[in-house]
């Protein structure tokens, strides 16, 4: 049997001719992911919820790269919209090759203080919406023999926060769902992986950076890197999983958290080249 012909970098990492849908993509991590997929050559559907102005900026950035883009204002938590969202993305850009599930909802409360409505809201956004989107995309990806699915998890599935018990449990369930489906679709050219960010500098935590906030101290304490991450750093990990060359990587979870998933002191002691 002849040895396979080596592929070049652009073939291994390029998404030219491919189409992606990124949920929750008007700002922060989702916007960074949409932009990097476009830089890889993909046309991108930018899902958002009531954030048209920010979504238009992301679309304009993608189009400036010579790629096609469309903004789709859809609440993925609604049980009747997943199929319609996928259909709208495909009508505008063509069959979907890449799905990145980034839209999420977290509600801070201890378990005993969490009301039923808040549990339901998080279940719908953080788990059921993913199931519906996967049902709307995976069969067609498998039929075409190519697909990349990346779900966005969280450091709290590994390092729990007392006021996010439901959110953390759902992110862990997310990962289990991805692993189960990865087994089913591995031989059909479709990979499913999970990326779990730690503390990332986004608008969601902008209140900590306001005057009088505790951002600097909080960021130093949240990882062994003694800093927060940036959206582009999460997007880079997602890009790796989406690349054609990552076809033998599936069912994985990758922390982008500055080592926060590793147990140990984070006060700076025990670090440094002289240790």
Element holding 12 (H helix, E strand):
helix 9-13
Beta carbons within 8 Å of 6's beta carbon, 6+ residues apart: none
Beta carbons within 8 Å of 192's beta carbon, 6+ residues apart: 149, 150, 151, 178, 179, 181, 182, 185, 250, 251
| Catalytically annotated residue among 167, 185, 241, 255 | 167
Is 13 annotated as catalytic? no
Q: Per DSSP, which regions of 36-92 are E strands?
A: 43-48, 69-73
Beta carbons within 8 Å of 238's beta carbon, 6+ residues apart: 33, 36, 37, 100, 150, 152, 195
Catalytic residues: 167
């Amino acid at each position: 049997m002849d040895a396979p012909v080596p592929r070049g970098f652009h073939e291994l990492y390029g998404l030219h001719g491919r189409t992606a849908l990124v949920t929750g993509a008007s700002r922060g991590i989702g916007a960074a992911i949409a932009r990097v997929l476009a830089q890889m050559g993909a046309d991108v559907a930018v899902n958002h919820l009531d954030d048209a102005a920010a979504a238009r900026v992301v679309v304009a950035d993608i189009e400036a790269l010579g790629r096609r883009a469309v903004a789709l204002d859809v609440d993925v938590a609604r049980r009747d919209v997943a199929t319609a969202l996928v259909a709208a993305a495909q009508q505008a850009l063509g069959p979907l090759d890449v799905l990145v599930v980034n839209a999420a909802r977290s509600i801070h409360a201890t378990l005993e203080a969490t009301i039923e409505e808040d549990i339901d809201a998080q279940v719908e956004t953080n788990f059921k919406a993913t199931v519906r989107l996967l049902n709307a995309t995976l069969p067609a990806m498998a039929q075409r023999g190519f697909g990349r699915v990346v779900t966005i998890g969280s450091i709290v599935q590994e390092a729990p926060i007392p006021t996010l018990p439901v959110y953390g449990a759902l992110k862990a369930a997310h990962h289990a769902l991805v692993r189960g489906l990865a087994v089913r679709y591995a031989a059909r050219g479709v990979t499913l992986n999970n990326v779990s960010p730690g503390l990332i500098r986004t608008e969601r935590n902008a209140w900590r950076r306001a005057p009088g906030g505790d951002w600097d101290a909080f960021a130093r304490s949240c990882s062994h890197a003694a800093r927060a991450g940036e959206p582009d750093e999460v997007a880079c990990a997602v890009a790796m999983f989406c690349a054609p060359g990552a076809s033998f990587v599936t069912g994985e979870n990758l922390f982008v958290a500055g080592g926060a998933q590793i147990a140990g002191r984070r006060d700076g002691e025990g670090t440094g080249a002289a240790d």
